[in-house]
Amino acid sequence: MAVDESDRSTPSPLSIALASVLERARPKTSGAVATYIPELARADPDQLGIALASVRGTVHEAGDSDAEFTIQSVSKPFVLALALEQSGLAEVTRHVGLEPSGEPFNAISLDEHTGRPLNPMINAGAIVTSSLVRGDRADEKFAVISAGLSAFAGRSLDVDEAVYSSEQATGDRNRALAYLARSAGTLASSAEVATTAYFRQCSLTVTARDLAIMAATLANGGVNPITRERVVSEDVARWTTAVMTSCGMYDASGEWLVRVGLPAKSGVGGGIAALQPEQFGIGTFSPRLDARGNSVRGVAVLEQLSERHGLHMLQHRETPLSPIDEISVGGGSDEVAGDEVVAMLRGELNFGNVEEVLTRLMPLLESEGRLVLDFGAVTRVGAPAVRLLLWAADAAGPAPDGLPRVELRDPDGVLDVDLAD
């Protein structure tokens, strides 16, 4: 069952971790909001938010996670997924390539031999991708795109009409890219139909929470972890994630992969969507952009989150195994209330599986009982996981009898790790 962290009276340990990296990034005030689309210049540059959605349906949030902004280029991988679901990889790649461009997002980037844009994450490729979505008219194509992106987010997304009008009024370069693709034979509709659908898709309003759920849907093999609806196939989710990995951060994609190591996509509205396959999706929002069009503080937040909590997708990990070996209720009672619940943990514990432990077991504390986490069969606990466990124990406070409501029973001292930053 999906768990909404916002329903809890106290922040989850994951939200505390997210808030911590936000505060580390908050002093960064370099960059500027996008102005080439005039309506985007109205954004509050100081807003900063983050959300993390696990593939089990738990959402953790911090900062301005509910602030609305336009999705802009973060829409590109999700529209690519819709086109792939509709037409398949072979047909889509007849029209657009899969190679990093090493160029700015609005570059004129067509392969000299095939006429294809180099990838779907730059504007030229994204306009071609939008043209591939079924529908003869722009409104028909956009209806499919809007419904698809809403399914990724798990709620109906709306268009910011003021931003759309601003995009239309200043979109001549994108129209030029569409006409070039049309002349090369790779655009699947008229230039006007393709760009109109594209401008409207970029003008959909989202939040950091929405981006986290959308990314988590890809991480979950195409199934939305909140609604449990299959949005795209596992193959499409994998192909889309691969393109995000190599091309999602424009001409900073290589450096991003080294420093952060998460498939991601940025947008000039200030959003970034990132994911760890089979684990979670993350959405960030901060409007100030660097010279490449990526959110300055969003990049900083994700760099710190990855480094502090070991989220790089290429980091070595053992075969996944549930960290909870056995759960028993003291005294043999079938009722949780007033009893001591003992959970035997096992194996190596990291950020991801400690999130599972806390999400599954912390709700038992809604009664007057106590929760004992027994680390007797645990071989190692990473520092990020220890931080989350200590935050959980501290947040739970004492039981009515004065004992800790969450006891970390550690006979072998596996929790004695260096927590220095």
* 128: CATH: 3.40.710.10
Tell me the pLDDT band of 209, cut-offs 50, 70 and 90: very high
Segment 66-88, tens digit of pLDDT: 999 999 999 999 999 999 999 99
167 is in an annotated binding site: yes
pLDDT at 421: 58
166 is in an annotated binding site: no
Do 30 and 85 lie in a common domain? yes
Residues tagged active-site: 73, 76, 198, 250, 268
406 is in an annotated binding site: no
Q: What is the overall mean pLDDT for the chain?
A: 90
Last residue of a domain, one of 283, 309, 335: 309
pLDDT at 111: 72
pLDDT at residue 283 tops 60: yes
Do 330 and 296 lie in a common domain? no
Question: Per mean pLDDT, which range of 2-11, 154-163, 383-392 is the poorest?
Answer: 2-11
Do 181 and 246 lie in a common domain? yes
Last residue of a domain, one of 258, 277, 309: 309
Last residue of a domain, one of 279, 309, 339: 309
* Number of domains within the chain: 2
Whether residue 5 is contained in a domain is answered as no
Whether residue 85 is contained in a domain is answered as yes
Do 253 and 278 lie in a common domain? yes
Whether residue 415 is contained in a domain is answered as no
Segment 391-400, tens digit of pLDDT: 999 988 887 7
Nearest residue to 131 via CA among 59, 207, 79, 209: 79
Do 25 and 106 lie in a common domain? yes
Whether residue 3 is contained in a domain is answered as no
Do 227 and 111 lie in a common domain? yes
pLDDT at residue 138 tops 90: yes
Whether residue 33 is contained in a domain is answered as yes
Share of the chain above pLDDT 70, in %: 91
pLDDT at 402: 80
Whether residue 314 is contained in a domain is answered as no
Do 304 and 332 lie in a common domain? no
pLDDT at residue 337 tops 80: no
Nearest residue to 262 via CA among 271, 249, 13, 250: 249
Do 29 and 62 lie in a common domain? yes
146 is in an annotated binding site: no
Do 276 and 360 lie in a common domain? no
pLDDT at residue 316 tops 90: no
pLDDT at residue 336 tops 60: no
Tell me the pLDDT band of 11, cut-offs 50, 70 and 90: confident
183 is in an annotated binding site: no
Do 236 and 350 lie in a common domain? no
Phi-psi region of 337 (alpha: psi -120 to 50; beta: other; left: phi over 0): beta
Whether residue 44 is contained in a domain is answered as yes
pLDDT at residue 153 tops 80: yes
Segment 164-194, tens digit of pLDDT: 999 999 999 999 999 999 999 999 999 999 9
Could you list the residue range(s) of the whole structural domain that residue 337 is in?
A: 324-409
Do 69 and 131 lie in a common domain? yes
Decide which of 151 and 11 is more confident.
151
101 is in an annotated binding site: no
299 is in an annotated binding site: no
CATH number of the domain that residue 402 is part of: 3.30.750.24
pLDDT at 114: 82
Whether residue 69 is contained in a domain is answered as yes
Share of the chain above pLDDT 90, in %: 70
pLDDT at 1: 45
User: What is the three-state SS of the chain?
Assistant: CCEEHHHCCCCCHHHHHHHHHHHHHCCCCCCECCCCCHHHHHCCCCCCEEEEEECCCEEEEEECCCCCEECHHHHHHHHHHHHHHHHCHHHHHHHCCCCCCCCCCCCCCECCCCCCECCCCCHHHHHHHHHHCCCCCHHHHHHHHHHHHHHHHCCCCCECHHHHHHHHHCCHHHHHHHHHHHHHCCCCCCHHHHHHHHHHHHCEEECHHHHHHHHHHHHCCCECCCCCCECCCHHHHHHHHHHHHHHCCHHHHHHHHHHCCCCEEECCCCEEEEEECCCEEEEEECCCECCCCCEHHHHHHHHHHHHHHCCCCCCCCCCCCCCEEEEEEHHHCCCCCCCEEEEEEEEEECHHHHHHHHHHHHHHHHCCCEEEEEEEEEEEECHHHHHHHHHHHHHHCECCCCCECEEEECCCCCCCCCCCC
pLDDT at 254: 87
Do 328 and 301 lie in a common domain? no
Tell me the pLDDT band of 332, cut-offs 50, 70 and 90: very low
pLDDT at 363: 84
pLDDT at residue 317 tops 90: no
Q: Model pTM?
A: 0.79
Segment 361-392, tens digit of pLDDT: 888 776 667 899 999 999 999 888 999 999 99
